[in-house]
């Protein structure tokens, strides 16, 4: 298995402006066209906040199963609260992923939006700090994602602030994932089957254990490593669709640890940056020409999200 350090960019350079900003835009755009993944330094998300949230996440998943089950609401299609082990399945696969997870959604500000799209977040009585820390981390991730999307918009030539109105009160998700220890010979070497993310971009805090792999253009699985303190950021299918495949939504998966580490848990905290449901994902005119005809039918972000939630087994038709 090849070891791969994905391209590294420094968000502080973008915020400096001038030539530093333009160089960042070039490096980010090239990475997202060639690889679809990047590591980001100086991303603006406090390490202390990340550490505190990780601790709260572990306290929640350590609760007895019957307590956690009180926070599972099937009618919310996994978009809020707890989803128990083995409920989510990668698109195109029958076997469920070997994980349980918690999701927090947008904290809507300044307007009233549909509860169907923005159900209330849940708090956990047994871990009272979980909710407040989650809110803080959600907003920190959102701020970092906003700057990254501004750089992407410059790279695409659609105006720096193109995405701002689409992600303001967008349908983003903060997910906390727990892959429990392996207690018997697994049927597969994979904890989370190969997939692409649904959203615009995903921001991932360094997981508590190795296991993340991406599939490169040579059809090889590469272990993803990122320097300490970096976020791993990747393109999602919504952005790939919007850009008519100019930006690459790369297939990735999580594999089991070596046998000597089967007794350990793996925790991961991705932030899925989603736009508002009404945003159109029709291919941008600037990404379509005679050599690159439109590859996707027109659709809204809300319609596309609904389709994908059904495909991965979190929502019924």
**CATH number, residue 173:** 2.60.120.330
Asked if residue 138 belongs to a domain, the reply is yes
Asked if residue 316 belongs to a domain, the reply is no
Domain that holds residue 262: 2-311
Task: Say yes or no to pLDDT of 112 above 60.
Answer: yes
Q: How do residues 23-41 score in pLDDT, each as one tens digit?
A: 999 999 999 999 999 999 9
Residues ≥6 apart with Cβ < 8 Å to 130: 56, 57, 59, 60, 123, 124
Task: Say yes or no to pLDDT of 48 above 70.
Answer: yes
| C-alpha to C-alpha distances, 20 to 7, 29, 155, nearest whole angstrom | 17, 14, 14
pLDDT at position 141 is 98
Per-residue pLDDT band for 142 (boundaries 50, 70, 90) equals very high
Does 218 or 234 have the greater pLDDT score?
Answer: 234
Phi and psi for 264 in degrees, rounded to 5? -100, 150
Q: How do residues 246-302 score in pLDDT, each as one tens digit?
A: 999 999 898 877 777 787 888 999 999 999 999 999 999 999 999 999 999 999 999
| C-alpha to C-alpha distances, 137 to 104, 188, 241, nearest whole angstrom | 10, 33, 28
| C-alpha to C-alpha distances, 65 to 85, 217, 268, nearest whole angstrom | 10, 41, 19
Asked if residue 245 belongs to a domain, the reply is yes
Domain count, the chain: 1
Asked if residue 317 belongs to a domain, the reply is no
- The mean of the pLDDT values for the chain is 90
Cβ–Cβ under 8 Å, residues 117 and 173: no
Asked if residue 219 belongs to a domain, the reply is yes
The structure's pTM equals 0.92
Asked if residue 192 belongs to a domain, the reply is yes
């Amino acid at each position: 298995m090849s070891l791969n350090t994905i391209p590294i960019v420094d968000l502080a350079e973008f915020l400096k402006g001038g030539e530093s900003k333009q160089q960042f835009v070039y490096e980010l755009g090239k990475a997202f066209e060639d690889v679809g993944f990047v590591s980001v330094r100086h991303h603006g998300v406090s390490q202390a906040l990340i550490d505190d949230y990780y601790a709260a996440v572990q306290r929640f998943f350590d609760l007895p199963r019957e307590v956690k089950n009180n926070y599972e609401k099937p009618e919310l299609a996994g978009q809020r609260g707890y989803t128990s082990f083995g409920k989510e399945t990668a698109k195109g696969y029958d076997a469920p992923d070997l994980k349980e997870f918690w999701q927090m959604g947008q904290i809507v500000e300044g307007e009233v939006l549909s509860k169907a799209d923005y159900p209330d977040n849940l708090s956990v009585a047994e871990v009272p700090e979980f909710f407040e820390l989650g809110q803080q981390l959600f907003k920190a991730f959102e701020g970092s994602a906003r700057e990254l999307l501004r750089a992407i918009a410059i790279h695409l030539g659609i105006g720096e602030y193109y995405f701002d109105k689409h992600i303001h009160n967008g349908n983003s998700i903060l997910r906390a994932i727990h892959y429990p220890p392996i207690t018997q010979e697994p049927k597969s070497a994979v904890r989370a089957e190969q997939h692409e993310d649904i959203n615009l971009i995903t921001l991932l805090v360094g997981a508590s254990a190795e296991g993340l792999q991406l599939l490169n253009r040579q059809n090889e699985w590469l272990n993803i490593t990122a320097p300490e303190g970096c976020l791993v950021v990747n393109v999602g299918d919504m952005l790939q669709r919007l850009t008519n495949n100019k930006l690459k939504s790369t297939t990735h998966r999580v594999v089991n640890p070596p046998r000597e580490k089967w007794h350990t848990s793996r925790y991961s905290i991705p932030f899925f940056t989603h736009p508002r449901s009404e945003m159109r994902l029709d291919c941008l005119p600037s990404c379509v020409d005679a050599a690159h005809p439109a590859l996707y039918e027109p659709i809204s972000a809300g319609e596309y999200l609904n389709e994908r939630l059904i495909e991965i087994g979190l929502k019924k038709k």
